[in-house]
Amino acid sequence: MGADKNMPVELRADALYEVDLETEKKEMNEQLSTDKTDFTKELDSRKSPWLSLWLSNFVQFLCGIQFSIYFTSMWPYLSGLDESATLDFLGWVVAAYSVGQTIASPVLGWWNQKTLSTKHPTAFGLLASAAGNLVYALLPSFHSNIRYIMIAARFVTGFGSGNLGVLRAYTSTASTAADRNKAISMGIAGFVLGLSVGPAIQSVFTPVGKQGFHIGPVIFNMYTIPAYIMVIISLFAIGLLYTVFSENYAGILSKEDRSSDPFTVLPKFDPIAAGICIYLWFMQNSVSTNIEVMASPLTIVMYSWTDAQAVLYNGLIQTVCCLISVAFYWVLGYTRIGKIDKRKLIFFGIFMFSIYHVINMPYPFYSGPLKYIPHDTNSTVQDTSKHGGCYDRYTWCSYYVKVPMWLYIASATICFGIAFPFVATPTGTLYSEVLGPRNQGMMQGLFAFFGSVSRCISPLLSTIVFEKTGYLWPTSGQLALLLIGMALILVFRNRLVPLTIVPKTGVATRYKKGIFYRL
């Protein structure tokens, strides 16, 4: 806009002033564009250390296996070593792992945050896990207090798995923005895949049998061999950490990066969005733990499977579920489907979880009642290694029905196989994006902490309620958690977005030292 010479002096002055303002605004926008380029140029030019990221994924995979590998065999193992053990006590054994992880997650996260080291807290966790698995394998060698030694073994193993938050923090901060979705997808896929593979690995050793064989005083059977294998793999992973792992953080703005430019400010993240992501992770862990812990006792009751059959068949179900999950993890990590709005992906995954729980309710049109375990001749002992069914103390079996076996198997394999990738991967990625390009050790530790709390509470409540009332209320409780998750996504969908590093003009933005504005 120019100033006409025939204009009055006052109008020409106003026009010239407007030209000056437009010129100044244009120069400011150009400067801001340059600042933005300088702000992100360093991050965009970096490369993700894929070798170390894949090693991190492998250790996360181990964490998943160590949590779930004994789920289908733990009850037969415990009841065989201690006939007085109850299903309530099994809940405490399962919870012990999560209690250990709950304590360790923030501790190891703090260690990582303060030292900026991933290698040392991860190696410490692997060593603790190896020790816990070794004690678990040696349980037949003890002659008293076996149930309490089992709790201690699972607690130590769980404490070691507290390094999961450290590994997730490394994945989030070592990967570049372009690679982050793939890196986090593969990392969480590794853990959830481990949850699925664990029972399948256990089922491989079912043919060895309960008696197994001896080498000196050491017993090798279907319950102890997997534990010895986990000890060896954990020690092998420690060796890899100290030989090929690289402490390279390509995806964060370090203190040095920010101090070099006084105008570089990293905004605070939205605590509501972060809290919802943590709840979604809590919810998913509760659902996965509930079905894995309850799989053996539930199928023994409903379908009169023996201990060996429950371990084998549930392991096969987990294997098929795992194969479906692997396919969808690949789809989310390497196709355009993974770039769909993460809120929609999570909502779809929760919907698939919900279908399973709706199908597996005790509807009156299902067949029933359930059968009780027959007593051996001249004995009051009910031995599930010989016969499946309900214990006499399960009075609810007289009026409960069983879900058709084909429907249970189909819903477990298909619904869980699809749901896990669509909830776990986008939730972890979204959480990392909500936090932004900062050191995430403590926050990822908090993320893992609430996952551990969920895995601690869920088996305790589910086994206690199952013993007293049957499978209706445990299933209903999990369904309620899923419905809450769906509601949170719908209500807070506008806040479940990545952190905006360069805020809109004139918007007050909080950061560590106060509030700043972009003009």
pLDDT for 475: 94
Tens of pLDDT, residue by residue over 45-64, are 667 788 888 898 888 888 88
User: What's the rounded Cα separation, in Å, for the pair 216 and 207?
Assistant: 21
Query: What is the homologous superfamily of the domain 46-516 according to CATH?
Result: MFS general substrate transporter like domains (1.20.1250.20)
Q: Helix, strand, or coil here: 390?
A: strand
What are the structure tokens assigned to 236, written together? 């092998």
Q: How far is CA 207 from CA 89, 198, 220, 221, 492, in A?
A: 27, 17, 12, 9, 51
Query: What number of CA atoms fall less than 13 Å from residue 376's CA on the CB side?
Result: 9
Alpha-carbon dihedral 281, 283, 285, 287, rounded to 10 degrees: -150
User: What's the rounded Cα separation, in Å, for the pair 264 and 253?
Assistant: 9
Contact 2, 15 (CB under 8 A): yes
pLDDT for 17: 43
User: What stretches in the chain show pLDDT beneath 70?
Assistant: 1-46, 250-265, 378-379, 501-519
Q: Given phi > 0 = left and psi -120 to 50 = alpha, else beta, which region is 436?
A: left
Could you tell me the residue ranges of all domains in the chain? Answer: 46-516
Tens of pLDDT, residue by residue over 286-300, are 998 888 778 888 999
pLDDT for 339: 84
pLDDT for 251: 55
User: What's the rounded Cα separation, in Å, for the pair 6 and 264?
Assistant: 48
Of the candidates 440, 411, 467, 472, the one whose C-alpha atom is nearest the C-alpha of residue 112 is: 440
pTM for the model stands at 0.73
Of the candidates 159, 154, 160, the one whose C-alpha atom is nearest the C-alpha of residue 135 is: 154
Which backbone phi and psi does 218 adopt, to 5 degrees? -85, 130
User: What's the rounded Cα separation, in Å, for the pair 448 and 281?
Assistant: 8
pLDDT for 437: 77
Q: What is the DSSP string of 213-263?
A: EEETTEEESTTTHHHHHHHHHHHHHHHHHHHH-----TTS--HHHHHT-TT
Q: How far is CA 388 from CA 241, 293, 301, in A?
A: 45, 17, 7
pLDDT for 477: 94
Show the DSSP H helices in 436-471 as ranges: 441-469
DSSP state, 500? -
> Please, what's the b/e burial string for 266-276 (b: 16 or more CB within 10 A of its CB; e: otherwise)?
bbebbeebbeb
